[in-house]
Amino acid sequence: MRKLEDVLQDWEAVIGLEIHAELTTLTTKMFCGCKLEFGAAPNTHTCPVCLGLPGALPVPNKAAIESIVLAGLATNCDIEKHSMFYRKNYMYPDMAKNFQTTQGPIAFCMRGHLDLQVDGPGAKERIDLGNLKPGESGAPGTTAANVTRTEDGYVAHVGITRIHMEEDAGKMVHIGGDEGRIAGATHSLVDYNRAGTPLIELVTEPDLRTPEEARLFMQKLRQIYLAIGISDCSMEEGSLRCDGNVSLRRRGSKEFGTKTELKNMNSFKNLHDGLAYEICRQAEVLEEGGTIYQETRHWDPSAKRTIVMRVKETADDYRLFPEPDLAPYDLTDEFIEGVRAKLPELPDQKAKRFEETWGLIPYDARHLVEHRATAGFFEQAMGVAGKDAKKLAKPLANLVLNDISARMNADASFDLLDCPLTPERAIELVRLLADDAISSKQGREVLAAVFDEDKDPVAIVDERGMKQVSDTGAIEAVVDAVIAAHPDEVARYKEGNAKLIGFFVGQCMKEMRGQGNPKMINQLLAKKLAE
Partner 1 sequence: MTQYVTEKDVRDMAAYARVGLDERELVQMTEDLNSIIDTLQPIRQFNLEGVEPTFHPIGSLSNVMREDEEQPSFTQDEALANAPKQQDGSFLIPAILGGGDA
Positions in 144-173 near partner 1 (CB under 8 A): 173
Binding partner 1 (rule: CB under 8 A), the pick from 105, 290, 322, 338 is: 322
Q: 296 exposed, middle or buried (CB, 10 Å; 0-12, 13-18, 19+)?
A: middle
Segment interacting with partner 1 (CB under 8 A) among 190-198, 377-385, 460-468, 480-488 = 190-198
Direct distance between the N- and C-terminal alpha carbons of the chain, in angstroms, rounded to an integer: 58
For residues 137 and 170, the answer to whether their CB atoms sit within 8 Å is: no
Residue (of 123, 125, 128, 126) closest to 151 by Cα position = 123
Handedness of CA 111, 117, 120, 124 (dihedral sign): positive
CB of 91 to partner 1, least distance (A): 6
Cβ atoms within 10 A of the Cβ of 338, count?
Answer: 12
Which amino acid is present at 176?
G
CB of 294 to partner 1, least distance (A): 20
Nearer to partner 1 (CB atom), residue 342 or residue 519? 342
Q: Is 35 in the site for partner 1 (CB under 8 A)?
A: yes
Please tell me what DSSP assigns to residue 208.
B
Positions in 210-269 near partner 1 (CB under 8 A): none
Q: Is 176 in the site for partner 1 (CB under 8 A)?
A: yes
- Neighbouring residues of 217: CB distance < 8 A, sequence distance ≥ 6: 17, 114, 116, 158, 204, 208
Binding partner 1 (rule: CB under 8 A), the pick from 64, 416, 469, 505 is: 64
The C-alpha atoms of residue 528 and residue 502 are separated, in whole angstroms, by 14
Q: Is 185 in the site for partner 1 (CB under 8 A)?
A: yes
3-state secondary structure of 220: helix
Q: Is 341 in the site for partner 1 (CB under 8 A)?
A: no
Q: Is 419 in the site for partner 1 (CB under 8 A)?
A: no
Binding partner 1 (rule: CB under 8 A), the pick from 39, 141, 183, 412 is: 183
Q: Is 333 in the site for partner 1 (CB under 8 A)?
A: no
Nearer to partner 1 (CB atom), residue 64 or residue 392? 64
Q: Is 189 in the site for partner 1 (CB under 8 A)?
A: yes
For residues 179 and 240, the answer to whether their CB atoms sit within 8 Å is: no
Binding partner 1 (rule: CB under 8 A), the pick from 60, 122, 238, 362 is: 60
Nearer to partner 1 (CB atom), residue 331 or residue 459? 331
Please tell me what DSSP assigns to residue 402.
I
Q: Is 188 in the site for partner 1 (CB under 8 A)?
A: yes
The C-alpha atoms of residue 155 and residue 213 are separated, in whole angstroms, by 10
**Which stretches of the chain bind partner 1, using CB under 8 A?**
26-28, 32-35, 41-47, 51, 59-65, 84, 91-93, 98, 173-174, 176-177, 182-192, 317, 319, 322, 324, 326-332, 335
